[in-house]
Structure 1
Amino acid sequence: EEEEDDEAKAKAAEGERRGLKRLRDEKDEHGRAFHEFREEANNSRSKSPLPPEEEPPEGEEDESLVILDTYTSDLQFRASRDRYGGQPLFPERFPGLWAGARGTHGVTHGRVCFQAKVSQNLPGKEGSSEVPLLRVGWSVDFSHSQLGEDEFSYGFDGRGLKVENGKFEEFGESFGENDVIGCFADFEAAELVELSFSKNGRGLGAAFRVPKALLGARALLPHVLCKGCAVELNFGQRAEPPAPVPDGFVFIHAVPAPERVRTPPGPRSAEECEVLLMVGLPGSGKTQWAQKHSQENRDKRYNILGTERVLHQLRTRGPEPEELDAKSRELLTQQAAQCLSKLVQIAPRARRNFILDQCNVYNSGQRRKLSAFKGFSRKVVVIVPPEPEWQQRLEQRRQAEGDDVPDSVMLEMK
């Protein structure tokens, strides 16, 4: 079986070279499945698993503390040991990669605040045009880690923008390294929750007024999202705040524990975790299945590791839609595939449930990935749609993204 696998990989590599050359003659860009395949082919040639990146040990939590939640954070968010700060992983290799995290506790009433400081801009990739940015604010449990880009998620962005449900508008002023941003949630009004911000102790006014009827019983949790910078948080654990706060507001750590809302803690051991390995050709419906399964099992809080999600986290959105030229789109897609490989590599260190949303067509690659998840419940999900449906899905992808994979490579994947 190993010999057959090696022979298939050699043929695939040769097919890739032939197909890549022919494709370059015809067009200048490739879709995400092409780059997924290239990464998979490269990684499958490795004979043993690469050592995972080191991460701070999670340890036992003191439930009385409000800290950053490493269970619901982005996998690429490296929390500090005290969990009062953090930064993105891989800032030099992937300087445009956003990483977000929420607090362990939220609030539903009172006048509550916390503070966030851009403690350091991280060294980036030489020649990169990416600018370090922090976005800070409030969101509800189960909202997207990209703060402000879905419902019930409210962010203040370092470019002097506020963002809610993906809509960016000018607000306040820009901020960056060493600035302290105050985040205030005022539930005292009868019908609205007012969310306001300050910069270095100076009030910037109300950014959002959220109808209580829409928010319902959902708690608002502190939320930070950063790229290319490190952030420090003050939930009230400091003897003196780094900047003054208005009278009448209390830090979230000072809210009595019974009045705070704790998000469910994560699994205590790898034996309580599950990893699902998707297997299927490009266009077979793996991502659709993974998203549907995740929605139907929300209590498991699956982390879907797929190129589509990473692509979203490598883009910096703003008031105007960003149009990428063919070369930029190609580089971004290639970066996303490489970044995904790194995330899959470090995933076994985290006590979470995962869905690995890649093609995973090599037997050796399947074994290599799953063997790293020692102790996890490990399952393989194979997606094989009827041929007419698959051809239709492929055509839809070609129209949206271009020819993903050369025919010769697709045959080898089969």
Structure 2
Amino acid sequence: MATAAARQRRSPPGEAEGEPEAKKMRSLQPPDFAGGRRGVVLNPADCDLDFTVDGDGLRGHALHEDGFAYCWSGARAAIGITAGKYCFGCRILSDQEVQMDDTPADQRHLCRIGVSRRDDPVGSLGETVGGGGFGGTGKFSTAGRFSDYGEKFGAGDTVVCAVDLESSSSAAVGFSLNGRWLGTAWRFDAGELRGSGLFPHVLLKNVAVDMQFSVEDGLVLEEGFKPWSSAVEDGNAIAGPSFLPAGNCEVVMMVGLPAAGKTTWAEKWAEDHPEKRYLLLGTNLALDQMKVPGLLRKKNYGERFERLMEMATGIFNTLLARAARTPRNYIIDQTNVYRSARKRKLRPFVDFRKIAVVVFPAMDELRWRSEKRVREMGKEVPAEAVNEMIANFVLPVRRDTPHADEPFDQLLGDIRVIIRKLPFRSARLLLAPALILSTPAAASAEAELTVTGEHPLLVLRFPAELRLVGGRAIIIPWGGRRGESLEISGRHRWPEIPSSSGEEVFCQQHTVRHLLERERGREKAAMVF
């Protein structure tokens, strides 16, 4: 294989916190991809949000302050290959300064270099069946399995990754370190790659790197392999994703209590819509990226919960701010039960389409899910915190709802669920609808309003009986005479009468308590507030 050659060093990148805002914004803009003056580059549209592509598109580094020091951050190149024999290089420029006294010194600054498919999670190089990487600990990994390979490397070293896709059935990936060939690290069936290709991929932990995709970039070729940039002219290249116009991007906001199933819903939605390439944002996902040995084990999670959540919350807030400047599709996976918090988080997403998804299972199921999470993960949210969320839960409404004070363009999914035995202090759940009637007199004044199934119906802030008679809604204030009853006519859609008594029904945009009675063979329901 090729012998080592002198490489020119590039100056290390400046500290992220010292960069002017304009420079940060420019680093997020898509470069001129394949075929342009810059050739093959790292893809800012295919990297973790804390990853920064700088300069000419060849330099990469990630945030490393506070909790980010514990996070791995990945990026792929803008061009992959589907056939042929090509190689690319990665020079580890420098270690980033971090405060990680609880982490062994040899685990603070690491780099993993390899290839992956376009649809693999960009922060998981070496953890999927479709990709593999050579890490600075002297290990090669694929599908989450690690094996000894080569030797350790770090700042000042150069790794070249050589990919052989010439055979229609078998593929091979090998590496060299500072010009010394280490041998083939991975052989696999190449048949499934024909449509997806393999992309250069780096996964960093507190280091800065320079990529080499052409001889002009400083790449020293391995014998028998062409520079990665040649795949474009050879017709063996496949392009990675690119940024969408901000107006075509969307941010989906999950709304629900802890353990309600928000993450399950979000992951399934992202899986069912791969063309959207959703990024899931949330404290739990930040914790997953903080791969601290021993710190995230099930038994330790509860003991270190407050410290972990403090770091994860800081990570989430930073990523949320960067997301609003980066035109991609997002799912915000947090509780988001407070209207003020929803508005604050979404305010920077000016041109994005905004969608709310409410996940609110029956209370028995919610308790079961919470207990299951504690058993399996040691992850428990204090009961008083959950009670506070229940007491202040406000349902989201569409922006075109009368008197609405939220930015949602759409409410997604079937949000009608049954909430059993919800404590009375949860009455603020009922204050989300736009049509709020505080007194019987106010109800009379609002009698002519037309209410559709798309919009909130009404909330009574006084004890009353609601009768459904022949498609008409009749409100009878408690303690009042029958002559004081109020008839609401026009288009309206009331929740279905539940089949058993003592239930609370969350239907459309409001919550009502139905106390079923049978009187002269006619069903009636009382709305209690």
Match of 1:134 among 97, 105, 111: 111
Q: Using the TM superposition, give the Cα deviation of residue 94 of structure 1 relative to its aligned residue in structure 2, in angstroms.
A: 2.5
Q: Distance in 1 between matches of 2:22 and 2:266?
A: 24
The Cα offsets for residues 168-204 of structure 1, whole Å up to 9 and x where unpaired, read as 1110000000100000001234531110000011100
1:181 matches 2:159: yes
Q: Distance in 2 between matches of 1:78 and 1:179?
A: 21
Q: 1:231 to 1:163 in 2, by over 3 A?
A: same
User: Which ranges of structure 1 fall in alignment gaps of 5 or more residues?
Assistant: 1-50
Higher-helix-fraction structure: 1
Provide the residue aligned with 2:314 in structure 1: 338
Q: Percent identity?
A: 33
What are the within-5 Å matches in structure 2 for residues 285-300 of structure 1? 285-300=261-276
**Is contact 1:94-1:125 (8 Å) kept?**
no
Q: Secondary structure at the match of 2:141?
A: strand
Match of 1:94 among 64, 68, 90: 68
Q: Distance in 1 between matches of 2:143 and 2:151?
A: 20
User: Which ranges of structure 2 fall in alignment gaps of 5 or more residues?
Assistant: 1-20, 391-529
Provide the residue aligned with 2:57 in structure 1: 83
Q: Distance in 2 between matches of 1:365 and 1:106?
A: 41
What are the within-5 Å matches in structure 2 for residues 359-378 of structure 1? 359-378=335-354
1:261 matches 2:238: yes
Q: Using the TM superposition, give the Cα deviation of residue 263 of structure 1 relative to its aligned residue in structure 2, in angstroms.
A: 2.0
TM-score between the two structures when normalised by the length of structure 2? 0.64
Provide the residue aligned with 2:46 in structure 1: 72
Q: 1:294 to 1:251 in 2, by over 3 A?
A: same
Q: Secondary structure at the match of 1:69?
A: strand
Match of 1:251 among 213, 224, 227: 227
Provide the residue aligned with 2:407 in structure 1: none
For the aligned residues, what is the CA RMSD?
2.4
| Alignment coverage as a number of residue pairs | 359
Q: Distance in 2 between matches of 1:213 and 1:372?
A: 44
Q: Using the TM superposition, give the Cα deviation of residue 92 of structure 1 relative to its aligned residue in structure 2, in angstroms.
A: 4.8
Provide the residue aligned with 1:112 in structure 2: 86
Q: Distance in 2 between matches of 1:354 and 1:184?
A: 34
**Is contact 2:63-2:69 (8 Å) kept?**
no
Q: Distance in 1 between matches of 2:352 and 2:342?
A: 15
Q: Using the TM superposition, give the Cα deviation of residue 237 of structure 1 relative to its aligned residue in structure 2, in angstroms.
A: 5.8
Q: Distance in 1 between matches of 2:229 and 2:340?
A: 49
Q: Distance in 2 between matches of 1:342 and 1:334?
A: 13
Q: Distance in 1 between matches of 2:215 and 2:202?
A: 17
Q: Using the TM superposition, give the Cα deviation of residue 345 of structure 1 relative to its aligned residue in structure 2, in angstroms.
A: 2.2
Provide the residue aligned with 1:4 in structure 2: none
What are the within-5 Å matches in structure 2 for residues 136-215 of structure 1? 136-145=113-122, 146-189=124-167, 191-215=169-193
The Cα offsets for residues 272-296 of structure 1, whole Å up to 9 and x where unpaired, read as 1100111110011110110111111
Q: Distance in 1 between matches of 2:365 and 2:223?
A: 62
**Is contact 2:298-2:377 (8 Å) kept?**
no
> Structure 1 counterpart of 2:203, which letter?
L
Q: Using the TM superposition, give the Cα deviation of residue 215 of structure 1 relative to its aligned residue in structure 2, in angstroms.
A: 3.8
1:388 matches 2:360: no
Q: Distance in 2 between matches of 1:317 and 1:260?
A: 38
Q: Secondary structure at the match of 1:71?
A: strand
> Structure 1 counterpart of 2:50, which letter?
Q
TM-score between the two structures when normalised by the length of structure 1? 0.81
Larger radius of gyration: 2
What are the within-5 Å matches in structure 2 for residues 32-71 of structure 1? 54-55=24-25, 56-59=27-30, 61-64=32-35, 65-71=39-45
Q: Distance in 2 between matches of 1:352 and 1:239?
A: 29
